[in-house]
A and B are shown apart, each in its own frame.
Chain A
Amino acid sequence: MRCFLCGAAVLKVDEHWDKSLAELMAEAGLRALEDSNLSTVDHVFVSNVYGERLQEQANLGTFLAEELGLKNVVATRVEAGGVSGLAALYSAATVVRSGLSKAAMVVGVEKMSDGTLEESISLMTMEERQEYIGSFGVSQLAEAALLYKEYMRRYKVGAESIAYFSVLSHENSSRCSHAQYQFKLSLESVMNSPMIAEPIHRLEATAPADGAAAIIVVSDDLAEKLDRTNCTLTGLGFSNDLPVAFDREDPLAMEAVSTAGRRALEMAGVSRSEVDFLELHESYSVMSPLMLEALGFTERGQACVKAEKGVFGLSGELPINTFGGLKGRGHPVGASGVYAVAEAFLQLVGEASKNQVAKAERGMVVSMAGLGAYAGAAVLEAVR
């Protein structure tokens, strides 16, 4: 699976009251196209989760094509909960690799400011089984809190050690110009923020956000002709699990994440130790340690210890969430995976500015839907 990423765009994650879903995706798409020096693409894939609920808009692929003045192109929306971005990348990579496409555009977009905070909690719960979880009056947030407590109990880890992952994310988002939250957080302020579902504090979860990001995927031939530094996509892996965490043998195992990560690394022929940075899907602070452990980057129960030693900082052994991740950069759900891929691209072409990871050769992006219901992983490598 080798194809090239030759352009990317990231809009600031924000509450874009004055911009529509269509305007956001058009702006990101156009900027990525300009960045790639291409004049057009033949496929567009829109990654979006809540458009039909919040904007009552379906058929987003066609609307993006219209916004960009593209005619006679293949245009689809891709949805797989939190994995939507990587699922759209998978679509783009497979059409490019198969020869059906010379250049494909992936745009991730979400506009959550059209809803209330309560609605966003309900929207996240759409990744769970509504007929059971939703109808019992349980939210994904409450389930995440139960996993958090189980993690603390099983590994004898204090809440502060888990909350520290929010501090880490903000450390990186504080210097990122497209981040929702461009400021640092102290551990004290995280721990003093209101409890939203004990033991999860408000500053350990994401907030509703609007955003759009885009990438351009091209074939080997076309990449050679373009006057643009690019990076290669060398591995992709996906895997499902039982959607509701408490139905699994071990709700903390995150087996879908393990399998997706292993598959992506195997496809790329890369070992874990060769990964220079990692973009995670920390929809709640505890998801960072859970994912790091499921991916095998640390032993079970050891991620917090490593975090406190500085391993995951921007200049650490394995930087994570280099632009702030879901917590700091922001989590416009359908766009988040595309943001992570675009950020990995920026790292690998050396355009990450103040967030640059030194000597970044290989990066890995891991996304998950629900609390490990479905997972996707991508390995990207610099071209030298």
Chain B
Amino acid sequence: MKPLTSRPPFYWRLRPFIYRLEGSRCSVCGHFHPLNRVVCRRCGSRTLERERLNNAGRLVNYTVVHQAQEGFEKTTPYLVGWVEMDDGTNLVGQLTDCDPQDLKVGMTIEMVVRKLRVDGDSNLIVYGVKFRPLVQR
């Protein structure tokens, strides 16, 4: 059976979030939700506005993954980070442009868009958000 994640419309629909971290922010309590929402999951309000998250945040924690899920067999080991963006929103995503020894809890990270994988059947190249340590220039 074809996995959902290799269907082009699935990724096409998700572009605002997986390329730009666009979601819905509650106008009442300020909570940010990934993707489109009609009701705030925290306070129940129905007034939400589309918003794009700030690009930067800090690294809360990370892990080196050796056992891949489907489609990521060739990318192990890969890094996954738990990050807190500047507005306080917590996200998890892959870390890129770094080695585990470069990482320090609390360091500043920024969002980038990277190739995530190539789907075997349709050769669909899947791009999405990853995080990398912010390099001071």
A complexed with B:
yes
Which listed residue (A118, A146, A198) contacts B69, Cβ 8 A?
A118
Q: Residue A194 at the B interface, CB < 8 A? A: yes
Taken together as a complex, chains A and B put the C-alpha atoms of A257 and B127 apart, in Å, by 35
Q: Which residue of A lies closest to B114 (CB)?
A: A137
B60 CB contacts on chain A under 8 angstroms: 150
Whether B66 pairs with A137 at a CB distance below 8 angstroms is no
Please name all residues of chain A whose beta carbon is closer than 8 Å to the beta carbon of B90 when the two chains form the complex: 246-247, 251
Residues of B close to A202: CB separation below 8 A: 67
Could you tell me if B67 and A136 are in contact, using CB atoms closer than 8 angstroms?
A: no
B70 touches A149 (CB 8 A): no
Quick check: A150 and B61 within 8 Å, CB to CB? yes
Q: Is A160's CB within 8 Å of the partner chain B?
A: no
Report the separation of the CA atoms of residues A138 and B79 in the bound assembly, to the nearest whole angstrom.
9
Do the beta carbons of B5 and A130 come within 8 Å of each other? yes
Q: How far is the CA of A144 from the CA of B75 in the complex (A)?
A: 19
A135 part of interface (Cβ distance < 8 Å):
yes
B128 at the interface (CB under 8 A from A): yes
Is the C-beta of A92 less than 8 angstroms from some C-beta in chain B? Answer: no
Q: Is A145 an interface residue (CB 8 A)?
A: yes
Contact with A along B95-137 (1 / 0, CB 8 A): 0000000000000000000001100000000101110000000
Give the contacts of A323-371 with B (CB-CB under 8 A): none
Which residues from chain B contact A125 at a C-beta distance below 8 Å? 69
Q: Are A149 and B63 in contact (CB under 8 A)?
A: yes
Known: A118-B70, A122-B3, A143-B92. A131 touches B35 (CB 8 A): yes
- Give the docked Cα–Cα distance between A246 and B63 (Å): 15
Q: Is the interface of A mostly helix, strand, loop or mixed?
A: helix
Interface 1/0 per residue, B7-21 and A, CB below 8 Å? 000110010011000
A237-294 at interface with B (beta carbon < 8 Å): 242, 244, 246-247, 251
Q: Confirm or deny: A134 has a beta carbon within 8 angstroms of a beta carbon on chain B.
A: yes
In the assembled complex, the CB of A84 is this many whole angstroms from the nearest CB of chain B, namely 20
Q: Shortest Cβ distance from B88 into chain A, in angstroms?
A: 11
Q: Quick check: B14 and A146 within 8 Å, CB to CB?
A: no
Q: Is the CB of A137 within 8 A of B94?
A: yes
Q: Given A129, A135, A196, A244, which contacts B67 in the complex, CB threshold below 8 Å?
A: A196
Query: Which size bracket describes the interface of B in this complex?
Result: 35 or more
B92 touches A137 (CB 8 A): no
A195 within 8 A of B: yes
Please report the C-alpha to C-alpha distance between residue A125 and residue B14 in the assembled complex, in whole angstroms.
Answer: 18
Given A121-B70, A139-B69, A146 contacting B3 (CB threshold 8 A)? no
- Is B91 in the interface zone, CB < 8 Å from A? yes
A237 to B128, CA, bound (A): 39
Q: Are A137 and B128 in contact (CB under 8 A)?
A: yes
Interface check A225, CB cutoff 8 A: no
B5→A138 contact, CB < 8 A: no
Complex A-B, nearest 10 residue pairs according to Cβ-Cβ distance, in ascending order: A196-B67, A145-B63, A142-B80, A121-B69, A122-B70, A122-B69, A139-B69, A246-B90, A136-B93, A197-B65
12 contacts between A and B (CB under 8 A): A118-B69, A121-B68, A125-B69, A132-B34, A136-B93, A136-B128, A137-B116, A142-B63, A153-B61, A196-B65, A196-B67, A246-B91
B residues bordering A, Cβ < 8 Å? 1, 3-5, 10-11, 14, 17-18, 34-35, 41, 60-73, 75, 78, 80, 82, 90-94, 116-117, 126, 128-130
> 8 additional contacts, CB 8 Å, given A132-B34, A141-B69?
A135-B18, A135-B116, A136-B92, A137-B93, A139-B72, A149-B63, A150-B61, A197-B80
